[in-house]
Structure 1
Amino acid sequence: MDIPIDQDQHWLIDCLKASMEPYKDRRSFAETSLHQAALQPGFGTALVRVAANREINNDLRQISFLLSFYNWILLIAFVKQHWKVDDDGFIHPVASPTEKATIRQLLMLSMDDRIKRIRTVIAMVVTLIVNYDWPEEWPELLPHLLKLISDQTNVNGVHGGLKCLSIIAEDLDDKLVTKLVFVFFPYLHAIVSSPKLYDECLRVKAISIFHSCISILGSMTAVFKVETDEIMTSLLRSWTPQFLLILETPLHPKKPDGWDIKMVVLKCLMQLIQSFPTKAETEFVVVVASFWKTFASCSNIYVLSSVQGDEDPYMACDSDGSDKNIEMFAVQLLELLQTAIQNSKLAQVIGSELDDLLYYVIAFLQMTEHQVYKWSHDVNEYVADEDDATYDCRVSGSFLLEGIVHVFGTKGINSLIKASVTHYKNSCESKLKGSIYWWQVHEACLFALSSIADSLLEEQSSGLNTEGLTTLLHQMLMEDKEIGHTYPFLHARAFVTVAKFSTMINDSLKEHFIYAAVQAISTNTPPPVKADACQALIHLLPESKPEFIQVHIIGLLSSLSDLLNQATEETLHLVLETLQAAVKAGREQSASIEPILSPIVLNKWVQVVSDPFISIDALDVLEEIKNAPGCFRSFASRILPSIASILEQPLHQPEGLIAGSFDLLSMLLKNAPTDVVNAVFDTCFISVIRIILQSNDHSEMQVFYLYYDHIRFLILGFWSDPPQITNKILKC
């Protein structure tokens, strides 16, 4: 669109050019001039005329919309600051009705710009103005957008129109959405159903608008159930066949553009299941065969690209510039199934294919090439990803397994065991053929079974025949026993599996893995193996035979003490928890290592005292040492001098150490013999009272209340001799 350039616009163009200068003085002068011009009437009109003039240099036109990422959003800033008087951030003068109309008109005429980034910025401005003016003061916007998206000869217009329409669709309220869906949905359907006329990006955007609208309709079902059901019935009559065709198309590994449209269809199906379960029961049956094809092909591509790490053509960006990859697509599939099985009728449909479904789910649980690399180089990442609900196939797949066992019960468990047996046999065959990927399948089977261990053990107590599972576990673990840590992640998973299924594993095999875990901690094994060896010992030590444990306990405590000095972040919690279990299991033998162990743990506690989660773990270990036979008095005599020196100089201590010292004193006084109580009284009481009296709180009672949780055991311990308490307080 060519727009005559007047003198004011020439000045604006010169300022915009100067704002791009490398010379700071010229650039600063131009920026100041633009800020001052923004306060003059007509600035918005001049700005949009320059922005809409396609004969001006494209880079300059982009600058006129979005001069820089920081504070130079000229046209957007103008709308925010001068459009509505009572809006937050308003700055005088307010744009006149004529100026607003001109800006709206020129924005509409610019929506079909040939440059994508210009269309994006236009959509950003439209978003702001829509919030203020649409539909009352901008009724011509929607007809113009529909005209744009229906003009097959103007692809840029279709792109621009859909971009703006998608923004409007996200903000529709319950009154507008019921009126407008029948207005613009036929146009969207025409785009989706014409793959030869419109490219994948446009079809994806059209379906995304459909998704936004049915999400809004879904939120209305509680109040307008009849109305929304009627609307959805009408819409799905024409949209479901398109979904079927889209899912029917095979997933191509080297054409990730095809994933986008399938992804947004999956999101629509999930929204349908969540918001319109009755409708979903009918529609899902129609597309289920196509869905299984997509699911199976995705599994195969995922294994080849992400697990085996073949040459990776599978990374790209979607139409909005966001990364897309096969894992994101796979997660969407798994989450859709997780949602679907919550519907009883859909569960019946899925249940008919349960054996095949679980076979493919286990394939999705394999460690990816990226995970192996990342976890090999950072054990903290390994521990964190195993503990946290990260967004990947292993987590989504394990959630799906839990859901399947909950919904299908024994049938789900038997299907999982069957799928695991098949995968295990395949991994054995792959191993014999020399495949380097066999262990990932093996590990995925153990991971799958461990994910539902609690449910399996509950079913076993209810009479489930677990003979097949027990046999499978022993077969797999016996093989892992022979392999050792040649394959570190498989060996690590074996430790976790033994811990999870300890009641189903014979004593001989269990004791082998306890010994192997002790050896893994004390030798130069890969960090992930050490981490899961700790996990195993935490669970296995409390239930192991004392005579077996006592043989290894001194070496284990010594190794854990060394490991404590190396542990950081996520692994520190594991080591401390393992130490606690080892000290408790060692009992009498713990006394012999207390002089070495206590100072190490106490030093670590001081280092982490500002972290409430880790410091409480260290405190638990110290308490376990204290409670070990023969350790109480030696432990108290070892830590009291350190606590006393801390409390005597409270203002010179790091954050958290004073409060932590109160925790330590409280722990020490639990069930303490009289001589220990007296030692604490003589060493620390005056310092404690001084800290309370010198607190910055408004009154002594408030301070006392603040510290009460920390010192209640201290006070109770001293209360047996009130005169002595009085004398001590007077000395303060």
Structure 2
Amino acid sequence: MSLDEITQCLEATLSSNPTTRISAELKLSDLLTTPDTGLKLAQVLLIQDLNTGLRQITCITLRRYVNERWSPALPQWKGPGATAEVKVQIRQAVFHGLSDPENKIRSLCAQIVSKVANSDWPDDWPDLLDSVIALLSSNSPPSVHGAMQVLLEIIRTDLTEDQILPVLRQLMPLLLNILGAAEQHSLLTRARAVGVFRSCVETLYMVKSQYPAAVKEAVESILPPWLDAFKIILSTDPRQDVQNSSNWDGIALRFQIYKALDAVQAPFHRVLIPYNGDLLTASLNHLNALYSTFVHYYLLAEDSIPAPSESESTGLPQLFCAIVDFLSGITRHARGKEWFVSENTKGLLAAVINWIQVTQDDEEEWLSNANAFVAQEAEDTLAFSVRLAGLDMLASLVEGYRPVAMIAMHQVIQEITTQSDGARSAGNTNWWRPLEAMLAAIGSQADEILEYIDDEVDMGNPKPTDVETLLVNVIPNLLGLSDCPFLQGRAFVFASQYTKVLPEQLAGQYLHATVQVLEAGEANIPIKVSAVKAIHNFCQGIDDALLVPVIPRIAKAVGPFLTVTSEDTLSLVLESLSVIVEIDGGKWMTPDLANSLVVACLDVWMKNNKDPLIISVLTEILASVTASPAQGVYETAIKQALPPLCNAIMASTEAEHWITGAAIDLACSLVRGAPDTGLGEGFLGMLAPSLFFAMKTVEDREVIQKDFTQLRTWSDPTTGQSGLDSVLAVIAKQMQSQDESGGLVIGDLIIHLLRRAGEAVLPILPELLQAMINRMKSAKTATFIQSLVIPFAFLINNQRDTVLSLLESMNGEGRSGLDILIQTWCENEETFQGFWAQRVSTLALCSLYASERPSLQSITVKGDLIIKPETRNVIMTRSKTKSMPTEFTIVPFPVKALKLLLHDLQADGEAASKGLGKVASDVGSDDGDSEWAEDPDEINGGLRPNEMAFLSDMLGAPIGLPFDNDDMLDAPDDEDLKNDQVSQMDMREHLLSFFRQCAARNTNNFSAAVSQLNVDETLVVRRIVGQ
């Protein structure tokens, strides 16, 4: 095909006629399979007389050709590939395009060059980097621009670790020359040079750990000249870039500089130390100097923002965010201390509050979009926002310089309050904006401010920040300002954030005012949403005595929001409602209110049945509603919720399996809220058919746990199968499946069945145990093995001799059921999870040992790992393990049982070491390091005791608590198991008593078994017996 023909085909793809366009696109797809099409496209794109649109579609088509026909190394490769000769010509053409006068063509050619480089550089295109650097050194702005775009991609994706440092040493000085050549290069070209520099810094950080010395030397030699240049540019007045200028390209340069500084300070902050003071001063100057422009173009939107000289646009909001991101890094790590001890902190705080005011655009969007209004301050939002960036910087300032920041806050509060009063008196319609921003800023740091005030008061110092004056003298006057809805709403939220210091009478007044807003039909979005936020805070911070009289009104007012909100607003309403319904245990709930809340919750679920977070909150709300002790509430909630949930379980299809799971979760929440007397008449009769239909794939232990009586008496009206038989069918199906992901769930189901069924399970017990033993032989995962062993442990604790007789009579592949169980149990006991499960296992081992049963004495199991000289202190890879297999000693089961029980006793938190006189530390060690003593300052990684305690609190780990007190480590245990006698007993004392009684009676030939323990274990036993 000739050049003209392919050009005509490309033109046809731009036709407004769909038939012509589609026909041309199909023809072009066929042409891409021919060998010379790529070269023809490359030639077309270089014809500068063609219109830009045609050249653009040519570049896009050539990019597609490269993706599909260039190399099998590229992910979209289809083949056949171009010949080596054609590739050379295409590479030359697209490289030439990097210097094209048209910006869009340069950018597209840079993408193609980068894509080709992914495959060809350096092997098939060895001179690429030198050629790009040569372009960078030219005096042609278009060439420099094209070269920088390619370099960005190469630096990010194509440089190997050993190429990075040599390339950067060659590249950085050239980029610095471009930045400094203000007469030769445009502001945007210089900004791009800084962007490439930032990528270089990020790349240096990537190899810092591999080449620490080389990177350190490179940083110390390369970065200072750049930082000097940045300091000089930032010291110039930024107003020159926005006043009397047709574009704001200078803002783009300053933006890139701050992004680069932020990239430097994280990994290489030491090199910034000499510059911090100047950079902080320059940053504050930028915020103050550009503020009037920000007010004109953004805050009040009095004029249109000038268009950029190219397609790239960087405005003042982006620059502000870049500045405060850099400042956040400095303040968070308490750097630049000398700068912050002066009036600078107050100036910085005031400047940030100025910039985070509600803009005209914000007002228009938030008045009509509740989700946008909620998201603008949500902690987990991903939305770009000047306010969020400013509040984040404020949090960093408080974190790094708390005393100075608190004093500055006090001063700024007084100044802004006075200025706002003056502006309001003068008739300034925007008087409310600074006051609202100040309340947002101070409110965002409520926890830190209140904590600091408490600390200062405890030390006898005056309060550093006078929040009470705001709450008493300022906020009450703002609650009725319906003509300033954002300030009015902010006042409600602010008061709720500081409930801790609110006088009781004033707290009651604020609460009643908030309720009135919720009940008012005419209030607009900001007021309603702010009132919901405030209620959420009040319910968590105000005494229940104040809440109880109005909580029914609050629930009644908030409930209807569920059906008219979505996304962020819905999440806020749900979170608030989940707190509301827990107040005073729900004693205030009425059947009518419960009915409306349940209906609304189900409506929310049907609209959001794929959202796990929403479903999670809904389950909590329904559980709280049904748990209300008020007359008729539980019955009303069940009557309203259960039928649609059962219908959903039955109606959901394989393609909508999540509906089944969510519906069962919601049904379980009803069960959790049920009274102790049971689920109520008819509950299981309604739920069971759909539940057992669904339980072919899922399990529900909660129904068994809550009301076994109904389960036992219920029978399927269609099959006549009893509830107990239905549960067993589910268990059997799960055990037959090769998918072991059910793991602990099926084990818990069996446990609850055995615990609740009592004698009712006896007729089917042999069949159940046989099925479990059969599945145990092929079980692979630790959780599934535990689900099969722990039920046996439970039964042994309750009906030991019966169960052991059954196991002895079972046979499988020449082994007794007892042998299969004991072997599996001993090999996996140390992997068992869950506080209750571990304790049941321990108790059952004690019982088995004490039984002195001959069949147990004859079983041998794996003992201790055999450490061979050739494997000592050697990391065992798979190949080494294959050539030198792991070996264990073989010991009788009674000996292994003692080993496991001793391990459980010694692993019992600090209880073992305290109760046994620190046996472990008294036992000699043969590692030759006994002369080493720990430096107290190096214990816990150099953390001081108070720091370690704080860290442990953060991680949720208990310090110095016996294992018996450690409920938090084993979250899987439910409340039913936590209240079980096994969970409540003193396990340490039980084990100590067990060992002493065995020694006194020589149970199961105890002395002989102890003689087969290792040295450490024997010493522990002697210490126990000797106490």
TM-score by length of 2: 0.63
Paired residues for 1:497-576 under 5 Å:
497-523=494-520, 524-541=522-539, 544=542, 548-549=546-547, 551-576=549-574
Contact kept? 1:663, 1:710, Cα under 8 Å = no
**Whole-angstrom CA distance in 2 between matches of 1:618 and 1:166:** 48
1:676-730 Cα deviation digits (max 9, x unpaired): 435156634642664256559997225696987999999799747949999xxxx
1:474-503 Cα deviation digits (max 9, x unpaired): 355445346443321112111221221112
Paired residues for 1:690-709 under 5 Å:
690-692=692-694, 700-701=730-731
Contact kept? 2:598, 2:641, Cα under 8 Å = no
Query: Does 2:360 align with 1:369?
Result: yes
**Whole-angstrom CA distance in 1 between matches of 2:573 and 2:261:** 45
**Whole-angstrom CA distance in 2 between matches of 1:264 and 1:136:** 34
2:283 to 280, 291, 311: 291
1:606 to 602, 609, 620: 602
C-alpha change, 1:699 and 1:49, in structure 2 (3 Å) is farther
2:370 alignment partner AA = V
Paired residues for 1:337-376 under 5 Å:
337-352=327-342, 353-376=344-367
Higher helix share: 1
Matching residue of 2:223: 236
Size of the aligned set, in residue pairs, is 707
**Whole-angstrom CA distance in 1 between matches of 2:612 and 2:672:** 20
- Higher mean C-alpha displacement, 568-577 vs 115-124: 568-577
Contact kept? 1:470, 1:505, Cα under 8 Å = no
C-alpha change, 1:613 and 1:716, in structure 2 (3 Å) is farther
1:463 aligns to what SS in structure 2? helix
Matching residue of 2:620: 620
**Whole-angstrom CA distance in 1 between matches of 2:101 and 2:35:** 30
C-alpha change, 1:589 and 1:450, in structure 2 (3 Å) is same
C-alpha change, 1:222 and 1:502, in structure 2 (3 Å) is same
Structure 1 residue 241, shift from structure 2 partner? 2.7
Matching residue of 1:103: 90
1:164 alignment partner AA = V
Contact kept? 1:502, 1:540, Cα under 8 Å = yes
1:564-616 Cα deviation digits (max 9, x unpaired): 5544443344444544555554778725xx13112211211221232443344
Contact kept? 1:553, 1:589, Cα under 8 Å = no
**Whole-angstrom CA distance in 2 between matches of 1:713 and 1:572:** 38
Matching residue of 2:888: none
C-alpha change, 1:34 and 1:458, in structure 2 (3 Å) is same
- Which runs of 5 or more residues in structure 1 are unaligned? 1-6, 67-72, 727-732
Matching residue of 2:708: none
Structure 1 residue 181, shift from structure 2 partner? 2.6
**Whole-angstrom CA distance in 2 between matches of 1:588 and 1:96:** 77
1:528 aligns to what SS in structure 2? helix
Matching residue of 1:38: 32
1:621-646 Cα deviation digits (max 9, x unpaired): 44434444433x55325524752575
- Higher mean C-alpha displacement, 439-448 vs 453-462: 453-462
Matching residue of 1:729: none
**Whole-angstrom CA distance in 2 between matches of 1:339 and 1:608:** 41
1:456 to 449, 457, 461: 449
**Whole-angstrom CA distance in 1 between matches of 2:211 and 2:181:** 33
1:433 to 396, 419, 426: 426
1:534 alignment partner AA = V
Matching residue of 1:162: 148
Contact kept? 2:332, 2:397, Cα under 8 Å = no
Structure 1 residue 461, shift from structure 2 partner? 2.9
Query: Does 2:181 align with 1:194?
Result: yes
Contact kept? 1:719, 1:725, Cα under 8 Å = no
Matching residue of 2:635: 636
2:377 aligns to what SS in structure 1? helix
Matching residue of 2:650: 651
Structure 1 residue 33, shift from structure 2 partner? 4.5
- Higher mean C-alpha displacement, 568-577 vs 427-436: 568-577
1:268 to 234, 245, 260: 260
**Whole-angstrom CA distance in 1 between matches of 2:661 and 2:684:** 20
**Whole-angstrom CA distance in 2 between matches of 1:103 and 1:519:** 73
C-alpha change, 1:87 and 1:238, in structure 2 (3 Å) is closer
1:161-208 Cα deviation digits (max 9, x unpaired): 333333333333332232123333333222211212211111111111
2:63 to 47, 66, 76: 76
C-alpha change, 1:472 and 1:262, in structure 2 (3 Å) is farther
C-alpha change, 1:569 and 1:104, in structure 2 (3 Å) is closer
Between structure 1 and structure 2, the one with the greater Rg is: 2
Return the structure number with greater relative CO, CA threshold 8 A, min gap 6.
1
C-alpha change, 1:550 and 1:724, in structure 2 (3 Å) is farther
Matching residue of 1:329: 319
2:466 to 464, 469, 475: 469
C-alpha change, 1:26 and 1:379, in structure 2 (3 Å) is closer
1:456 alignment partner AA = I
**Whole-angstrom CA distance in 1 between matches of 2:562 and 2:186:** 58
**Whole-angstrom CA distance in 2 between matches of 1:149 and 1:628:** 73
**Whole-angstrom CA distance in 1 between matches of 2:464 and 2:295:** 31
Contact kept? 2:355, 2:386, Cα under 8 Å = yes
1:1-34 Cα deviation digits (max 9, x unpaired): xxxxxx8334433433444455666655554554
Contact kept? 1:149, 1:157, Cα under 8 Å = yes
Structure 1 residue 443, shift from structure 2 partner? 1.2
C-alpha change, 1:700 and 1:292, in structure 2 (3 Å) is same
Contact kept? 2:175, 2:193, Cα under 8 Å = yes
Structure 1 residue 273, shift from structure 2 partner? 0.6
1:447 alignment partner AA = A
1:313 aligns to what SS in structure 2? coil
1:531-563 Cα deviation digits (max 9, x unpaired): 222222233246656665455445444433444
Matching residue of 2:44: 50
**RMSD (CA atoms):** 3.6
TM-score by length of 1: 0.86
2:588 aligns to what SS in structure 1? helix
Query: Does 2:267 align with 1:280?
Result: no
**Whole-angstrom CA distance in 2 between matches of 1:188 and 1:581:** 57
- Which runs of 5 or more residues in structure 2 are unaligned? 700-727, 736-741, 765-1027
Matching residue of 2:168: 181
**Whole-angstrom CA distance in 1 between matches of 2:262 and 2:559:** 50
- Higher mean C-alpha displacement, 651-660 vs 108-117: 651-660
